[in-house]
Amino acid sequence: MLGAELGAEVVLLEENPGGEPFDEACADLWWKLREALPAHEDVIPLACFATTVELRA
């Protein structure tokens, strides 16, 4: 959704890049919870949304 609003032609998503980046500090807990409870994945929403946008020419 954010990529579309920004008019991005390409969106890259990297899970667990290491170094504990800010944009994953909140979401990581929810990803791990969904992985630990796969039978409940459809009822465990991602409770937050954080992102880092890099704008390059």
pTM above the 0.75 mark? no
Segment 5-36, tens digit of pLDDT = 888 888 877 766 667 677 677 777 888 888 89
Cβ atoms of residues 22 and 51 within 8 Å: no
Residue 36 has a pLDDT of 92
pLDDT bracket for residue 51 (50, 70, 90): confident
In the prediction, which pLDDT does 34 show? 86
Residues in the chain: 57
Where are the chain's structural domains? 15-57
Residues 6+ apart with CB under 8 A from 8: none
| Type of residue numbered 33 | L
As given in the structure block, the two tokens for residue 14 are: 């990297």
Q: Which of 35, 46, 42 is nearest to 1 (CA)?
A: 46
